[in-house]
Amino acid sequence: MPQSRSANLLAIYPHITSRDRQLLQLLDDHHVLTTDQIHRMLFLARRTCQIRLGELTALGLLDRFRFARAGGGSHPWHWTLGHQGHRFQAAAHHRPEPTVRTSRQSVDRLSANPNLTHLLIANEFFVRLTVYARQHPEARLDRWWSETMTTKQFRTITADGHGLWRVADTMVGFFLEADTGTEPLGRVVAKLDRYAQLGRRGGPRYPVLFWLGSEHREENLHRLLRGRRDSVPPRDRHPTPRTPPKRSGFLAVPPAESGSPSCPSDHGQPVADNPNYDESGFVL
């Protein structure tokens, strides 16, 4: 590594707080967050958040983009890692040194990603859980895996996210399906088969949480679920803080071999394909 580039990154370290590190890790894991999402998770005052984001951008740790609204004005800023942020995260996780070109390409590809809205919606669900845990000391989000990480770890499912949620001494796992209304509902329902197969192979049997854009679409999805021969049991609405945009959600349980109507949160068996376990036992 050229000395000038190394020294440039080292010179930034005294300016990085523990909260900054948390934000850099969040963006490394989940690619993009809006100003409002960052504010709700990590800051008390919105103005303080905006100032700090500007300072981190000036240091090259963050980058941002936003889109014009059709009727005038702009959408919120979307924040992602800048080149120095990519370098910092690469050093922290022993990854190869990124080039300026690759860092710039990652921002360009993210801003042009046709699934950007879907990604932000999936992130929003976990943002709300994080905010709730911040306000309630007995609650904690022990695991927040992105779609990429969930697919990498579980391999045979493509959930939009996976989490472990704890309240006091009770921990439950779940898979998230963040629905944008673009897929036929039949295809949405068919996803439950893969979750059921995961449980039969010794993997976890977690409830699947469908988060939908409207109550009307939820009603139609309920109707399809009731019509399945394996009688996947829909559960009560999953409560989330009602911050905009308002969405509708409920839990559905992939069927077990026995067809039990229970709503379990089973971490599965310590088999090779189950990322919940290693040689020491259950791991977060």
pLDDT at residue 272, rounded to an integer: 84
Q: Please provide the DSSP assignment of 45-90 as one string.
A: -HHHHHHHHHHHHHTTSEEEE--B-TTSSBPPPEEEE-HHHHHHHH
Measured distance CA(260)–CA(256) in Å, rounded: 6
pLDDT at residue 89, rounded to an integer: 97
Among 52, 111, 60, which Cα is nearest to 81's? 60
pLDDT at residue 225, rounded to an integer: 83
Measuring CA to CA, how many Å separate 56 from each of 37, 41, 73, 163, 177?
A: 16, 17, 25, 29, 32
pLDDT at residue 1, rounded to an integer: 43
Among 256, 128, 138, 260, which Cα is nearest to 198's? 256
Is the backbone peptide bond immediately before 245 cis, with ω within 30 degrees of 0?
yes
pLDDT at residue 213, rounded to an integer: 85
Q: How is the chain split into domains, by residue range?
A: 3-113, 117-282
0.75 exceeded by the pTM? yes
pLDDT at residue 57, rounded to an integer: 97
pLDDT at residue 251, rounded to an integer: 60
> pLDDT tens, 123-154?
999 999 999 999 999 999 999 999 999 999 99
Q: What secondary structure letter does DSSP report for 251?
A: E
Measured distance CA(42)–CA(89) in Å, rounded: 19
| Beta carbons within 8 Å of 235's beta carbon, 6+ residues apart | 207, 250, 251, 252, 253, 263
CATH number of 3-113: 1.10.10.10
Q: Give every residue of the chain whose pLDDT is below 50, as ranges.
A: 1-4, 231, 236, 238-245, 257-262
Measuring CA to CA, how many Å separate 126 from each of 59, 84, 115?
A: 28, 26, 17
Measured distance CA(79)–CA(32) in Å, rounded: 5
Q: 281 phi and psi, to 5 degrees?
A: 115, -150
> pLDDT tens, 85-115?
999 999 999 999 999 999 999 999 999 999 9
* Contact between residue 215 and residue 251 where contact means Cβ atoms under 8 Å apart: no
pLDDT at residue 8, rounded to an integer: 82
Residue 255's Cα: distance from chain center in Å? 25
Residue 130's Cα: distance from chain center in Å? 11
